[in-house]
Amino acid sequence: MNSQTTTRRKVANALFGLLAFLAIFASLITLVALLIDVVVRGGSSVDLQFFTSAPSRIPAKAGILPALVGTLWVTTLVAIMTFPIGVAAAIYLEEYAGRGRWSRLLRINISNLAGVPSIVYGIFGLALFVRLLGLGRTVFAAALTLSLLILPVVIISSMEAIRAVPPSQREAAYALGATRWQMVRRALLPAAAPGILTGIVLAVGRAVGETAPLILIGAVTFVTFVPVNPFEDKYTVLPIQIFNWAGRPQAAFQEISAAAILVLLVLMFLLNLVAIILRARLSRTIQW
């Protein structure tokens, strides 16, 4: 072998390694810079009072309690609504619908829906839930809109988790005289559970960060009370509170805006952590 080409191949190899490192470095440095910036500007504002107070005209007295509770309300309702519907739809498409033209059409449309901009869901939610169904500017209307938004993502990730279960598992259940539903419930779902739950938690994480559709369907930017009844009360959520504060000229509001971003990031981090832990715990016994 020619030693010159050998050198060239080694150089090319090292170069690509460097390029790949720079690629990951670029995204890492952005994240680190963002975190440092937020902590420096808002870290000192995060204290107990910040969590227990409502927004105020006086930045030092302002807090995120209504927004935090609003976010928790919306998140919980979204999770409760998308879990059964998303998983059932995925089961239908993977195990019942077959591979015909009809099911292919459904699949393609669900993939398309997953790519629809969230603002479009906001317009739809405003027309259907807030106006037509008369739900008004409530937590429930927000949860319904965000559920529609993440449902395609939940369906697609659940379908992937179901498809990842080896066919031999289905055969094993059928060969023991399982009906299709018994096969799904006792063999398929337990085996697919880690993947399904991870997908749902990550999708809910996306809903937590959504702002645009909620602005459209009327999340209020200045709420001084904690929403109690999701069907009645006005509400706000963390991203909208951040949007509101960040838009004000006073430097003090910029600080508490950064503080609220910090809280939102920690919330997202916790959700992702839950996904990782769930996956690790549930898949401990599953290695085909």
Interface residues with another protein (CB under 8 A) are 98-99, 166, 168-179, 182, 186-187, 190-191, 285-288
Spatial contact of 118 and 151, defined as CB atoms under 8 Å apart: no
Question: H helices of 92-117, where?
Answer: 101-114
With respect to another protein, which residue has the nearer C-beta, 95 or 160?
95
155 CB-contact burial (10 Å; exposed 0-12 / middle 13-18 / buried 19+)? buried
- Residue number, 106 or 113, with CB nearest to another protein: 106
Shortest Å distance, C-beta 103 to another protein: 12
Which of 148, 151, 146 is closest to 86 using CA atoms? 151
User: Residue 136: left (phi > 0), alpha (psi -120 to 50), or beta?
Assistant: left
The residue (of 178 and 274) whose beta carbon lies closer to another protein is 178
What distances in angstroms separate CA 188 from CA 122, 174, 183, one per listed residue? 35, 11, 6
CA-wise closest residue to 137 among 206, 248, 213: 213
In the complex, minimum distance from the CB of residue 287 to another protein, in angstroms, rounded to a whole number:
6
CB of 276 to another protein, least distance (A): 19
Calpha distance 139→130 (Å, rounded): 11
- The minimum distance between CB 286 and another protein, in angstroms, equals 4
Q: Which is nearer to another protein, 43 or 98 (CB)?
A: 98
Q: Compare residues 165 and 237 and give the one whose CB is closer to another protein.
A: 165
CB of 19 to another protein, least distance (A): 40
